Structure 1
Amino acid sequence: MLAGLMAWWRQRRLNWMDFPLRQGMVWAGRYRIEQYIGEGSYGQAYRCIDQQTGAAVLLKRSKPSKRAVGRKLLQRESDVLQTLRHPQIPSWLGEAVHRRETALVMAFIEGDSLERAMIERGATYTQWQALRIVRDLLGPLGHLHAAGFVHRDVRIPNVLAYGERIYLIDYGLACRIGEELRAEGASSAKSKSQEPSGFADGWEAVKQRMRAPETTSDLHGLGHLFLFLMYAGYEPVEGQEERSWEEELTMDPKVKLFVRGLLDGQWQSAAECERVLDGLVRELDSTNTNSNTEV
């Protein structure tokens, strides 16, 4: 009984520590909080107005409950973003200290995540639309890999769409290629409802592969992202047993081979994968005049 009450109290305290900042608060005497965007495992994001420039910016703070681990990951994200200059990656604007707490400030990107589009608006994707998104993500991934880093979290919540432009966001788990990583805080058991979204298979089945500090990890995540987009419009036959994605999803056999290559680590870099995908699209376009390619 006592142990249960203590556990309840500890969780209540953590929830209180991580309660979102109030709208209208001014961080570091400069950034006025306009909207609480959401949170991940270690950080919280806010849309703010820079009172010096009038521009909208995104302010990211580590969760107070995560203490040193959260601060370390936020600083690592800041360090990574400072080295990147790509139109599909949020621009680093600086760091801002408020009451001994440092937050990361970056350009605010309009748009909805693929996760929100699918869950809230019921968005579905054709084979060509999903391929175009994969093709668009290979650009920022290639830039990231060329700079010596790997994202390690390529999922639908971390991909924003605004008009025709696709953005790759949230570099909180990014690290140097080949970096030796220690456990980033204690991991607690998660129920199925708490698993991160954006994977065609269960989270635990791909977690270790996704977190490896290798470029193929991002391509592996990209393969699952493609399948997740395709499954958004999939309607299973009632009473039919679950089958493999190759059997359940309708797509060109060459596309299936390409996706299998992503999942199996067939290509070592985003640039190499991009060349293969471009060749695949040209081949499909030349053999199918009704393909209406959008890639």
Structure 2
Amino acid sequence: MLGTRFRQRWQNWVDYPLRQGAVYAGKYRVERFLGMGSYGQAYRCIDLSSGLPVLMKRGKPSKRGLAREMLKRESDMLQRLDHPQIPKWLDYAAHRKEEVLVMELVEGDNLEHAIMEQGRMFTQQEALYLVRQLLRPIRHMHEAGYVHRDVRIPNVLASGDRIYLIDVGLACRIGEAAAEGEPIGFADSWGAVKHRMRVPEPASDLYGLGHLFLFLMYAGYKPLEGQEERGWEEELALEPAVKAFVQGLLESKWRTAAECEQELDRILA
């Protein structure tokens, strides 16, 4: 027990965010700490050479070599992707024993924040059009040989009229085995869903897209008082063609994002 508490305190200490105003690698001034994931920390910074804001992703010091390995893999992948709905790679910089990935900063709110904090709700049509926009960067990734593996509302960002797919930290090559140390089991209630999303095949991203659509629809769902919980097929008032489309996403009906796009375009038309 004492050892566990000590390790937790040590981890909290070494992973403490960089202070505001700190200059990293002589290039980037930290403006704001944005958040922390399993392997990295994100900061809004100013590129001192251009004066422009950028996103800097720093590997969590407590994760040591694994964080550096995953950050380098993410950097290599971003350099091979070129799509207007995926943040662009800008730099990979070293500072002492640490390394950081610098990319385009997209200003906006992710869907999780929009739904949970702002109370945003979506009509069936709005949710379908959002899915249609997301299929474009997903298709680009698949055609480049990668699968995102984390298509969820925290990783979808709205900036003006454009929808971005962000955070390729868990992405990998299609068919690639899990990296050593990467979590493959999940203890929370969404464990089975996340486990399916981690399979390195294109259908995993379409499966994630199906659950994302359901999240959008449930944002405005209010069950009747005393009503027993039912499946989404009964609880959500979806048109038959839309219900069949969502089932297709969840049941791996389509092998590619392109096939999925064709079916969705038919429904939207």
Both structures adopt the same fold (TM-score exceeding 0.5): yes
Which of 167, 171, 193 in structure 2 is aligned with 1:174? 171
Matched, 1:5 2:7: no
In the TM superposition, what whole-angstrom CA distance separates every residue of 1:187-219 from its partner, at most 9, and x where no partner exists? 7874x4xxxxxxxxx311212210000000000
Structure 2 residue 195 is the aligned partner of structure 1 residue 208: yes
Show the counterpart of 2:133.
Answer: 136
Give the aligned residue type for 1:235.
K
SS in structure 2 of the partner of residue 172 of structure 1: coil
Give identity over the alignment, percent: 61
Displacement after TM superposition at 1:185 (Å): 4.1
Partners of 1:240 and 1:79 lie apart in 2 by 50
2:102 is aligned with 1:105: yes
Q: Secondary structure at 1:121's aligned position in 2?
A: coil
- Work out which of the residue numbers 227, 238, 257 in structure 2 matches 1:240: 227
Amino acid at match of 2:13: W
CA distance in 2, matches of 1:160, 1:231: 19
- Which residue of 2 is the match for residue 226 of structure 1? 213
1:6 Cα deviation from its structure 2 partner: 1.8
Shift of 1:21: 0.7
Paired with 1:156 and 1:66, the residues of 2 have a C-alpha distance of: 25
Distance 1:214 1:104 in 2: 26
Post-superposition offset of 1:100: 2.3
Give the distance between the partners of 1:91 and 1:189, measured in 2 at CA: 30
DSSP-derived class of the 1:57 partner: strand
Match 1:51 to one of 48, 52, 57: 48
Partner of 1:249: 236
Is contact 2:185–2:195 with CA below 8 Å preserved after alignment?
A: no
CA distance in 2, matches of 1:147, 1:184: 25
What are the superposed Cα offsets for residues 96-150 of structure 1, whole Å, 9 maximum, x if unpaired?
A: 1111211000010010000011111111111011111100000000110000000
Letter of the structure 2 residue corresponding to residue 222 of structure 1: L
> Of 55, 63, 75, which residue of structure 1 is paired with 2:72?
75
Question: Would the alpha carbon gap of residues 11 and 179 (structure 1) be closer, same or farther in structure 2, given more than 3 Å must change?
Answer: same
Give aligned pairs, total: 269
Task: Provide the residue aligned with 2:257 in structure 1.
Answer: 270
Q: Secondary structure at the match of 2:31?
A: strand
Distance 1:20 1:215 in 2: 35
**What are the residue-to-residue correspondences of 1:191-202 with 2, within 5 Å?**
192=188, 202=189
Once superposed, which parts of structure 1, at least 4 consecutive aligned residues long, lie more than 3 Å away?
Answer: 185-190
Q: Where does the alignment leave 5 or more consecutive residues of structure 1 unmatched? A: 193-201, 283-295
How far the C-alpha of 1:183 sits from its partner, in A, is: 4.4
Once the two structures are TM-superposed, the CA of residue 241 in structure 1 deviates from its matched residue by 1.3
3-state secondary structure, aligned to 2:163: strand
Over 3 Å counting, the alpha-carbon distance change for 1:188 and 1:246 in structure 2 is closer
Question: How big is each residue's C-alpha offset from its partner over 1:127-178, in whole Å with a ceiling of 9 and x where there is no partner?
Answer: 0111111000000001100000000000000000011100000000110001
Q: Aligned partners of 1:184, 1:250: CA distance in 2, in Å?
A: 42
How far residue 278 of structure 1 moved from its aligned partner, in angstroms, is 0.3
C-alpha RMSD over aligned residues: 1.3
TM-score normalised per structure 2: 0.97
Query: Would the aligned equivalents of 2:185 and 2:191 in 1 still touch at CA under 8 Å?
Result: no
**CA spacing shift, 1:7–1:188, aligned 2, 3 Å:** farther
TM-score, normalised relative to structure 1: 0.88
Q: How far apart are the structure 2 equivalents of 1:246 and 1:125?
A: 17
**Is residue 207–residue 251 contact of structure 2 (8 Å, CA) maintained in 1?**
yes
Q: Which amino acid aligns with 1:276?
A: E
Change in CA separation of 1:237 and 1:274 when aligned onto 2, cut-off 3 Å: same
The answer to whether the aligner puts 1:151 opposite 2:148 as a matched pair is yes
Map Cα deviations across residues 43-91 of structure 1 (whole Å, 9 max, x no partner): 1110100010011100001111111211111111101100011100000
Aligned residue number for residue 119 of structure 2? 122
C-alpha distance in 1, partners of 2:108/2:237? 29
